[in-house]
Structure 1
Amino acid sequence: MAIAIISTLSFSVSAQEEETTSKFSLSGSVDAYYRTTFKDAGEADTATFTSFANQTGFALGMANLVGTYDMGDTGVVVDLVFGPRGTEATFENDVLNGIINQAYVYWNVSEGTTLTMGRFNTFLGYEVIAPQANFNYSVSYLFSNGPFSHLGIKADFALSDDVSLMLAVMNPWDTNDISDSGEYSLGGQLGFYDQFLNLYYDSGKSGGLGFEIDYTGGFDVTEDFFFGINAAYNDNSETGTGFYGAAIYPQLTTSDSFAIGLRGEYMTFTDDALEDDSPVLGLTLTGSFTKENLIIKPEVRLDTWGNDLEPYADGDGGFTSNQSSFLIAAIYSF
């Protein structure tokens, strides 16, 4: 499996004649799911404190349309999202109720240098917004607590076939419309043989993220077995909050149409105002069945909090530290 985070988008090649390729291409996806928490406690115990896929019963993920116009050296990408997943990812903080996930222009200055300006999905973390690009359908705590997108300018440098560098100047964390604070953030990514070290910094003011360092990588243990890794540390000196944690993603492909994978994640939230930290363990087992462009993902998830934290209703009028849930998702991409 390819590392999801190193590629913000994957564009399908448009229909083409034998010797002529259209400058415009269109791709996208639609996803929906059914989820249950095995409890009868109403709405109180539905959320996993991660983003997306938190509704019980049948629910819509999102519809996604990505248009690309590529002239070779220059081009533009517009990525539109419709539905709960898209609305949450964009924070509804732009025109038309937050349907613009990405919108940027790019210039291939040279064979190894590309400049990009506009809104683009984050370079931090292992997972992404588009569900077809993730192995697990529900998302991790690490992904949910980092930025989803940035608005600014970045420069990507291919230093060699296996080494890359990205530098960026952007609005603060998830400030996708304007930066009314007058502050900006800095970002960087060093890629080395498909392992990526990511850095992000803003002052932490006006809801900023502060400082974050993030490692994303993985290894093909065998032809059919991939082992992914994500680890991150965040500190916001302005708010006195932060987090640190790691996740592993072992994934086994059993046939051309089926694979199974586990996400094992341990994350701790820190807060100077609290006496104890807030640790959580998330275990997610996902199957992935593919038929043409359709992906069916059955998934079992268990979330357990430590330090006597009991954030979930237990179905008997009390509270508990753990929650188990099952979902089955259908994703169609084109």
Structure 2
Amino acid sequence: MSTNCFRTAILFFALALFSACIAAPAFAQQTGGQGTSDQFLDFFRRTTVSGFVDGYYGYNFNTPGTRKTGPERTFDVNHNSLSLNLVELSLQKIPTADSRGGFRLDLDYGPTQDIVNASDPSGPHVFRNIGQAYLSYQADVGKGLQIDFGKFVTALGFEVIKTRDDWNYSRSLLFTNAIPFFHMGVRATYNVNDKVAVAGYVVNGWNNTVATIDKKTFIGQVTVKPISKLTATETYIGGPQIPNTTDWRHVSDTVATYSLTPKLSLAGNYDYGRDKESGATVRWQGVAAYAKFQANDWFALAPRWEYYDDEHGFTTSAAQKIKEFTITGEFKHKDGVLARLEYRHDYSDIPFFLKNANRFSDHQDTFTIGLLYAFSTK
């Protein structure tokens, strides 16, 4: 299916959904189809419909000749440009003991999806507009074993693809370089009790909707919540990523969040990765520290600091130690509008950041204004 056809299909889907919401009750009254109306309403009682529009203006004080930042940034890459980032329409039904089937479908459009799917071996455009699409079933095992099959975002990292769910507008070095974006496969999650949850995955690999090798990649995760204010998650991913090799890529991802006060939250993320390239072992690791101070209902301040060691240049294309500091001011309107003003300073131990037309600098400063609108029926 061509990209234009897929975009058209998404548009028709959105219009059909909107039209159905308006027309179904009237149709049921005209036809006397009370059962049809009840089923329709029951579907939307159980299903959450949500979405958002995300855009930004970014200015890079290095004024790069390419008008874009380098591999240290993920999505907010454009310089001195008003840019659309991501638009999403999402439907989700969470399985329960009373209704064990479920699903999630995230329809996405924007440059973010080009970046997320750029390395997909099936082609960057085939599944580009499907952010997530999976079926769910809650098995009658203990407290409920949930099994999902399809395409879903990765379990690794503190930050996520959707800006609205992060504390800062730009993504961290760890999110950009140390971990995958998404997977295609099967996952099982189980809450042992109110303090411990476990999960296991079998997937095609890193950012693969279609398998390129016979062997699979495995993910294991344990989440503990010893007290209400503290949550810690350890995730491991391992498996071969290149055909005709037995070498595995390993990543250990540790995330912890702590609510120090009702207004101040802290978080930390550590990643360690290892692989082989041309028979030689390559490593990367980094740590990120976060804080968010919710001053009141409409304003929050969120600083972030990171250190990332790409020892062999495997993830950033240059062997270096890179750091960044970000400060984000968030302004929230009660009707779903969100604005973020952000300053970020990146610095490396080598000249890594493009400056002007063809020079390189060991540092980079950027300023970003992000604007979002989000809605949800629940």
- AA aligned to 2:264 is F
The equivalent of 2:338 in structure 1 is 295
> Which residue of structure 2 aligns with residue 284 of structure 1?
326
Residues in 2 aligned to 1:277 and 1:109: alpha-carbon distance in whole angstroms: 47
Identify the structure with the greater helix proportion.
Answer: 2
Shift of 1:25: 2.9
**1:218 shift after superposition:** 1.2
1:44 Cα deviation after fit: 6.0
2:255 paired residue among 197, 201, 216: 216
Question: How far, CA to CA, are the matches of 2:64 and 2:313 in structure 1?
Answer: 33
Relative to structure 2, which stretch is displaced further, 237-246 or 260-269?
Answer: 237-246
Which amino acid in the other structure matches residue 87 of structure 2?
Answer: A
Structure 1 contact 45–312 (Cα < 8 Å) conserved: no
Residue-by-residue CA offset, 1:97-143 (whole Å, 9 max, x unaligned)? 61111110010113331011111110000010111101111101111
The correspondence of residues 159-174 of structure 1 with structure 2, limited to 5 A, is: 159-174=192-207
1:1-334 residue pairs with structure 2 within 5 A?
Answer: 22-43=45-66, 46-47=69-70, 49-56=72-79, 57-69=81-93, 72-91=99-118, 93=123, 96=126, 98-110=128-140, 111-145=143-177, 146-176=179-209, 178-193=210-225, 194-206=231-243, 210-238=249-277, 240-271=281-312, 277-292=319-334, 293-306=336-349, 309-315=350-356, 318-334=359-375
Can you give the 5+ residue segments of structure 2 that lack an aligned partner in the other structure? 1-20, 23-37, 226-230
More displaced, 117-126 or 93-102? 93-102
Q: 2: distance between equivalents of 1:31 and 1:258?
A: 19
* Shift, 1:278, TM fit: 1.0
Per the TM alignment, residue 316 of structure 1 is displaced from its structure 2 partner at its CA by 7.9
Matches of 1:266 and 1:287, distance apart in 2 = 22
Q: Distance in 2 between matches of 1:315 and 1:326?
A: 17
Given that residues 310 and 321 in structure 2 are in contact (C-alpha distance below 8 angstroms), is that contact kept between their aligned partners in structure 1?
Answer: yes
Tell me, what secondary structure is at the counterpart of 2:168? Answer: coil
The CA distance in 2 between the partners of 1:42 and 1:135, in whole Å, is: 30
How much has 1:223 moved relative to structure 2?
A: 1.5
Structure 1 runs of 4+ off > 6 angstroms? none
8 A Cα contact 1:252 1:260, kept in partner = yes
Aligned residue for 1:87, secondary structure, equals helix
How many Å apart are 1:221 and its aligned residue?
1.2
* Alpha-carbon separation, structure 2, partners of 1:66 and 1:256: 26
Contact 2:287 2:306 in 1 (8 A): yes
| Secondary structure of 2:152's aligned partner | strand
The separation in 2 between residues aligned to 1:46 and 1:170, in whole angstroms, is 31
Deviations 1:33-91 (A, max 9, x none): 00001244422663352210010121110101111245621111111110101221233
- Could you say which structure has the larger radius of gyration? 2
- Conserved in 1, the CA contact under 8 Å of 2:70 and 2:354? no
**Paired residue type of 2:52:** S
User: What SS does structure 1 have at the residue aligned with 2:161?
Assistant: coil
**Superposition RMSD in Å:** 2.5
Letter in 2 for 1:153: V
1:183 CA drift (Å): 1.6
Unaligned runs of 5+ in 1: 1-13
Name the TM-score, length of structure 2 as normaliser: 0.77
Rounded to whole Å, the distance in 1 between the matches of 2:134 and 2:357 is: 50
Task: Tell me if structure 1 keeps the 8 A contact 2:68–2:78.
Answer: no
Counterpart contact for 2:117–2:125, Cα < 8 Å: no
Tell me the percent identity: 24
> What is the distance in 2 between the residues matched to 1:227 and 1:69?
31
Deviations 1:217-260 (A, max 9, x none): 11111111111100010000355333101000011111111000
The alpha-carbon distance between structure 1 residues 272 and 78, as it changes in their structure 2 partners (threshold 3 A), is closer
Aligned to 1:10: none
